[in-house]
Amino acid sequence: METAAPARVAKENVNTGEIINICYSSDQNYAKYMALSMATVLNTKAPDDKIHFYILDGGISESDKQKVLNLKHIAPCEITFITVDKEKFKNCPLENTNLTLAAYYRLLIPDFIPALDKIIYFDCDIEARGSIRELYNIDISDYPLGMAEDVVNDWLRGRFNLDNYYNSGVLLLNLEKLREEKFTEKVFDFIAKNNEKLLYHDQDVLNLYFANRIKQIDSKWNCNMNFVHVSSFIKNTKNAPVVHYLGLKWGFILMNFPVCLKTDYKFEFTKLYIQSVIKLIFHQIFQVRNADNKKQKEITILGFTFYIDKKKSSKAG
């Protein structure tokens, strides 16, 4: 079994023109979902694509590391674990309980992986549907990073009066430029000064810190769609080479179950798949959302829609 690398990977002889370097960050909670994402990359890569995965390890068990390493049976690749000092991130805000401090690890990638000048970062709920060579080859030489717009761009950019607001689930990082700008030395002071603004954590950090200096990449490289109706989701992501499930684990498993069975988590994923199918059926039968007039709740049961006045329903509760 490969051993975990130290917190900083030593400079190595890497030909970045041939190797597609991809970084993930995970703790124990997200290890299996990260493995599934990696499996989709390996399952759909071009025959001549050489992949090197770098994993920012926030506490993955040795048994789970071995399961991740066993992904090599899907396709040859290199996998390097990088131990993260979690104390560095202890003062980072975490308002959203669905996230862990691992969300912030990506901010220090230039330090964690000094061997490279460029890398792709993927969240653990990213599905690759084909070679990502084209994404990796996008020219960002004049930018610190490249990102795609967020699905709710209009509301999010309005919070900070930005021209655009980008989703951090897929990042194309110019590590050389980030080091030149000493980003990792300044970012924690920036977080401390803007702590109350950071509703979306690392994503807000990147959008605010690099305002108007982010290379906008095509949304097909981070097709971050809300998984509401399966049919509309399939239609809207049909031609996207990279799909982002926005933290919706059951949708990620549901749409990638054949790939789940290629991992060492096949039994865990089978259980979760059954739960996902039940959740999907219930979701299709019974739906609740805000009505267009904002004053009512719209409830759909077996195709029949009912409206309930919010004030009356809140008093009744």
Q: How many CA atoms lie within 13 A of 124 on its CB side?
A: 26
pLDDT of residue 310: 57
12 lies in a domain? no
Task: Answer whether residue 147 shows pLDDT above 50.
Answer: yes
Q: Please report, for the domain that includes residue 107, its CATH number.
A: 3.90.550.10
- Please give the pLDDT value at position 232: 75
Spatial distance between the Cα atoms of 218 and 291, rounded to a whole number of angstroms: 32
Arithmetic mean of pLDDT, 81-110? 85
Residue 8, exposed/middle/buried by CB under 10 A (0-12, 13-18, 19+)?
A: middle
Please list, in sequence order, all residues whose beta carbon lies within 8 angstroms of the beta carbon of residue 18, skipping any fewer than 6 positions away: 50
241 falls within a domain: yes
Predicted local confidence at residue 160, as pLDDT: 83
Q: Assign 248 a pLDDT band (cuts: 50, 70, 90).
A: confident
pLDDT of 104 > 60? The answer is yes
pLDDT-above-70 percentage for the chain: 81
Q: With respect to residue 274, please indicate whether it lies within any of the assigned structural domains.
A: no
* Structural domains of the chain, count: 2
Domain span at residue 219 reads 19-264
Please tell me the predicted confidence (pLDDT) of residue 229: 64
Q: Are residues 228 and 296 in the same domain?
A: no
CB 117 within 8 A of CB 186: no
